Amino acid sequence: MTHLEPREALIKHLGRIAPEIDIDTINTKADLRDECDIDSMDFLNLITALAQEFSCPMPEADYDQMRSFDDMLAYLNAHVS
């Protein structure tokens, strides 16, 4: 199975969790939960889906590094082999 690139995977899983968002219009530097109107459980589901997609641990201690779309993408790029 071929994995998606981090940006594609983030868009895919975010779109599944918050289908009403338009990734082209969100502020990618804003807090993801506020910008996409997702709650803590949705955020956890997003992280879980991405961790499974890339077989990459994403510990709770790192959640502060994943606040915005850009932060999450940078985190994935740094941790996905």
Give the distance from CA 18 to its chain's centroid: 11
Residue ranges per structural domain of the chain? 6-79
Each residue of 40-77: pLDDT tens digit?
Answer: 999 999 999 999 999 999 999 999 999 999 999 999 99
The fourth-level CATH superfamily of domain 6-79 is ACP-like (1.10.1200.10)
Whole-prediction pTM value? Answer: 0.90
CB 68 within 8 A of CB 28: yes
For residue 63, which of 35, 44, 80, 41 has the smallest C-alpha distance? Answer: 44
Average pLDDT, the chain: 93
- pLDDT given for residue 4 in this prediction: 80
